[in-house]
Amino acid sequence: MNIPFIPSTGTFGPVIAQAQGLMEGASKAMSIVMLIGFIFGTICVIGGGFAIRRGDTDAGKLSIIGGLIIAAAPAIVKALFSAFGLEGSTVDVGSF
């Protein structure tokens, strides 16, 4: 089988533009997921406070700790990436 040689022009502009659009879309999607996680974590913390008020201290403490972890997950992951020297390998979370 003979494959003809096609000389490359060396322009990757359209490919890079498509990758930039994908990165922007992923950034917006991650910001929406972060917002939903923060709201869910806040609801868990409030629910834990109500559980403690009802007298269920064990479930209340677990709910508060879980809510704090859920709400702070983006900051925790960013700190881990920075600690291991991987700051530039992620897509930044943008505003939406």
Question: Any idea where the domains of the chain sit in the sequence?
Answer: 30-83
pLDDT in tens, 57-72: 999 999 999 999 999 8
User: For the chain, what is the mean pLDDT?
Assistant: 79
In this predicted structure, what is the pLDDT of residue 50? 95
Q: Output the 3-class SS for 37-56.
A: HHHHHHHHHHHHHHHHHHCC
Q: Tokens 């709910």, residue?
A: 63
Per-residue pLDDT at 82 exceeds 70: yes
In this predicted structure, what is the pLDDT of residue 41? 93
| Amino acid at site 82 | S
Per-residue pLDDT at 96 exceeds 50: no
